[in-house]
Structure 1
Amino acid sequence: MLATQGFDWACIDMEHSPISPTLMAEMVAAVASSGACVPIVRVPSQAPEWLRWALDAGAHGVIVPRVETPDEMRNIINLCTYPPAGKRSIGAPFAPQHFGFRGPQAISDYMETVGPNVLIIPQIESLEGAANLKAILGVGGMDAIFVGPYNLGASARASQDHIHDVFGAIEKTAKDGDMPIGIYAPSGESALSKMKLGYTLLVAANDVDCLTSSASENLERAKGESSRHYR
């Protein structure tokens, strides 16, 4: 339902949500079926199986947590890229079907047309990752970076670094490298402020907040109406 509300993309979060690979695949299919919203999976780690499961399920891309070094970035790109350029395993027919490929050539067609274009998005959420960002971008092969604001903020506070300076340095490095940058924004107002800073890949709402805020709003409205009615 959320995928039909006008969002450009949906972040299916396996890092901080207890989502199984099976449920993730079902969510990817549900989002993709909207025809207008792109499913991207934030995997729980850099482990090969998580990247493989997400992409084989038909995700258009992956957000990969806690990328801190160029070597980690190279390995991630390798795991998400088919041979001969990389070492992504050739497997399940689910992904080709999600992209409309059928018949004996489905996997080959998917590998040739979609495979090279899956979105690879490292998440920068530590001081080490921020310090190495220019070198990470120098690896090439990624489509955007995603800032993890809470972990990065905790990392900066722990070392007495000024959080605004850290974020500013990341934003400048991304801009200088002509790299799109994303972040979680807890509200529409926050999303607008981030856009003014150059962020274009925004998580502007999440399902839990949407559900709880709507429930609270309706409950308060009902309580208000009932108190007036029975006064």
Structure 2
Amino acid sequence: MRDNRLKELLGAGETAVNAWLSADSAYLAETLSHAGFDSVTVDLQHGMFGLDGAVRLLQAVSAGPAVPLARTPALDAAVIGKLLDAGAYGIICPAVDDPVQAARFVAMCRYPPGGVRSYGPARANLAQVPGYVEQADAQILTWAMIESRAALDAVEAIAATPGLDGVYVGPNDLALALGVEPGLAVPPPEVDAALGRIAEAAHAAGVIAGAFASGTAAALRLTERGYDFVTPGSDMAILRRAAAEAVAAVRGTAVTTAPSGGY
């Protein structure tokens, strides 16, 4: 098993930039892995593919220097185990609302006696390595998503969950949970305050503060707030924005597409 370069980078206090893959395209996955991102997250929750597609995409990301991660569609030990067996070096788990769920999530990513993960690494670069169990437990990263009012209310306890590596904000779902409009380029005060509280909770617990952003400007604002693991938009949002900017530049007109949304 390779060393997790993303874990090393974050452990050194550096900011990591993550790509988000929702298209069922191994070509795009490999391209993103070679584009300078520190990691690429294969999104099995909202991505346009199933588990078979996720395996192909993880393989494609692994062909480049970016660290392959995955977002599981739910707190499901079977799916999380398959994603790890397929080569994900970290899991982002949605809808973690309390420290009990956070502890269950961590256990699903760790082998006994510290967890409940079943043994069965399928990829050759995992299964043929002596000491894989110990390496996997040491290398695989875990993020609990904070995207509900319940999770926000419990964020300090969630962040302090033993073995959890970080929290990750789903800003649009969090905005909906707080009763405000999602997808705004500048977060409303309720979401901005929540972002500050989440970052403070992560720093107090000594874990990674991660978040999805609606573009580069929003990602920079997050880093200024202390977030050290940021996603500056999804693959399709970045492609759509770049395409619209290219068309506008050639025509000499204003960009007509709406700003990127997020998950």
Out of 194, 213, 227, the position equivalent to 2:241 is 213
Identical counterparts, % of pairs: 27
Q: Provide the residue aligned with 2:220 in structure 1.
A: 192
TM-score by length of 1: 0.85
Q: Provide the residue aligned with 1:9 in structure 2.
A: 39
Instruction: Tell me: CA distance 1:163–1:83, structure 2 relative to 1, closer, same or farther (3 Å).
Output: same
Out of 48, 54, 62, the position equivalent to 1:32 is 62
Out of 71, 93, 97, the position equivalent to 2:122 is 93
Q: Provide the residue aligned with 2:200 in structure 1.
A: 172
> Of the two structures, which has the highest relative contact order with CA contacts closer than 8 Å and spacing of 6 or more?
2
Q: Provide the residue aligned with 1:120 in structure 2.
A: 142
Over the residues paired in the alignment, what is the CA RMSD in angstroms?
Answer: 2.1
Contact 1:13 1:41 in 2 (8 A): yes
Shift of residue 125 of structure 1? 0.5
**1:25-54 Cα deviation digits (max 9, x unpaired):** 1111111111x2011101110011221111
39-48 vs 149-158, greater mean Cα deviation: 149-158
Contact 1:156 1:166 in 2 (8 A): no
Any gaps of 5 or more consecutive residues in structure 1? 225-231
52-61 vs 176-185, greater mean Cα deviation: 176-185
**1:168-198 Cα deviation digits (max 9, x unpaired):** 2222222222222011112222211110100
Any gaps of 5 or more consecutive residues in structure 2? 1-30, 181-188, 253-263
Q: Provide the residue aligned with 1:18 in structure 2.
A: 48
Report which of the two has the higher share of helix. 1
Shift of residue 165 of structure 1? 2.7
Aligned pairs for 1:34-113 (under 5 A) are 34=64, 36-94=65-123, 97-99=124-126, 102=128, 106=129, 108-113=130-135
Residues of 1 paired with 2:239 and 2:159: CA distance? 37
Residues of 2 paired with 1:169 and 1:214: CA distance? 33
Q: Provide the residue aligned with 1:228 in structure 2.
A: none
Higher CA-based Rg: 1
TM-score by length of 2: 0.75
**1:194-226 Cα deviation digits (max 9, x unpaired):** 1010011111132102322233334445556xx
Give the total of aligned pairs: 215
Residues of 2 paired with 1:55 and 1:69: CA distance? 23
Q: Name the amino acid aligned to 1:57.
A: A
Instruction: Tell me: CA distance 1:92–1:179, structure 2 relative to 1, closer, same or farther (3 Å).
Output: closer
Residues of 1 paired with 2:251 and 2:193: CA distance? 46
SS at match of 1:120: strand
